[in-house]
Amino acid sequence: MSMGTFSAYTVNQTSRLVSIIYIDNYGTVSERTIRPLRTYKGRNGYTYIEAYCYLRGETRTFRKDHILTWTGQPSQGVSAPARDVPAQPGAITPPLRVPVEKVYKPAEISRMQPAARKEPKAVIPPHGKKAPSGFGIFFRIITAMGFIGGILYGVWNSPGFELPDLLPDKPGEVYDPEPAARVVVKPAEEPAAPVTAAAPAVEEAAPPPPVTVTTYSEYRGFRIKVDTTGSESACTVEDLQISTTSYYVALRGINDLLFREATGMANGELENIYASADKDGSGALSWEEVIKFQSWLAGAYAYRFNEAALWPYQFMIQRGGDCEDWALFTCGLLRYWGWESYVGAFMPPGGYLGHAITLVYSQQEIIGFGSYSIEEHCYLNGRPVKAGCYIPIDYEKVGDISDAMEADWELKELFVPEEIYGRQM
Ligand SMILES: [Ca+2]
Ligand SMILES: [Ca+2]
């Protein structure tokens, strides 16, 4: 993936082995022997060192100010082979030892509970590949594009449904955190002031006193009271002590609160980004808005390898991450809007280097979207997984998977997003 977003680039001229003690973003301290390859300054202002890491057996990136100590002497146990390697600038040294590092835990799938087990149905895999695992999980791409197109065209062009094109098209542009449109509470069209009996004797008709109309609505389990007087509205969420003139702000307050409760994060900038995905200001997230959001995300944020599952605010600050970080950031969006989503970890048949994507739970298939179908409640690596459809979101692909994986890869684990924040993966 593109790494061309750095403002400065210098090649290390000596490329000698150094021993460092490093502390990562989560306070984990490790001692490593590295061979620096280059340094660069990130857009966040920090200096990074890309180096061959003998602990991990591959190239890693270290934030310079996270290096606690730095010595030119190799660590114990890492010595002789280094002399065999010419100190070419930028040369990548073969690993002295290659610890097998798995992106995910060993692919140990717990079997379904015997009572729930049944013979897998025959599934004809796409492109003649091996049939997917016998867990009733398979990927379906619905190809009836004419049908889909007709449905989507019909929805998108139905009266009153107009999707404003407000997301930036060019990569790198900043997402406008302001919602495009806001819900405006129209003055109630209730009868005006009760007409009192005609008073013919009155010479100058006094204006009728303002009438306040109170309406109630329900949003994600909270009751919103709207008092409308003439053209003025006052919205109150009684349980939350929210009082505002804007219905949208009331919804926003509820979404913020529920998101903070679910994730333990309270970051206004992150909430702005998630809230602004509701481009039509409807107070709800649509699939069309998810597609727009992922498209914007793919242009504005980068793939950046790291060793931890990033909290969404970290992903936002670093403007990118690797696969599970992307999945977690999208799960954050969906959590913000009350959708049920998970991070699915997939492995190729017989392989161990996997890929993680967002999976959105849906009781039914969605026309035009591929999905993984779990036909009965089952256990996956010890976790209960409920039956239903799981719609993939993989980078900018919504209802589809990217070329980072194949349709016959097996779902090994399904994570609740908040449970893996900060985990080494
Ligand atoms: Ca919307
Ligand atoms: Ca990560």
Contacts of 350 (CB under 8 A, 6+ apart): none
Dist. CA 313 → ligand 2 center (Å): 13
What residue ranges do the domains of the chain occupy?
A: 10-83, 114-162+301-419, 212-275
Dist. CA 79 → ligand 1 center (Å): 59
Predicted confidence band of residue 220 (pLDDT cuts 50, 70, 90): very high
Which bound ligand lies closest to the C-alpha atom of 322?
2
Task: Domain 10-83: give its CATH code.
Answer: 2.30.30
At 60-105, the pLDDT tens digits run: 888 888 888 877 754 343 333 333 333 333 333 333 332 333 233 3
The pLDDT, as a whole number, for residue 85 is: 31
Dist. CA 133 → ligand 1 center (Å): 37
Which bound ligand lies closest to the C-alpha atom of 282?
1
The pLDDT, as a whole number, for residue 1 is: 33
Dist. CA 50 → ligand 2 center (Å): 17
Predicted confidence band of residue 239 (pLDDT cuts 50, 70, 90): confident
Which bound ligand lies closest to the C-alpha atom of 304?
2
Dist. CA 358 → ligand 2 center (Å): 14
Which bound ligand lies closest to the C-alpha atom of 281?
1
Burial label for 156, CB within 10 Å (0-12, 13-18, 19+), is: exposed
Dist. CA 393 → ligand 1 center (Å): 18
What is the model's pTM? 0.56
Please tell me the chain's helix, strand, coil percentages from 3-state DSSP, rounded to the nearest 5.
Answer: 20, 25, 50
Dist. CA 171 → ligand 1 center (Å): 23
- State percent of the chain over pLDDT 90: 45
Predicted confidence band of residue 382 (pLDDT cuts 50, 70, 90): confident
DSSP string, 107-143: --PPPPPGGG--PPPP---GGGPPPPPTTT--EE---
Q: Is the pLDDT of residue 133 over 80?
A: no
The pLDDT, as a whole number, for residue 190 is: 53
Mean confidence (pLDDT) of the chain? 74
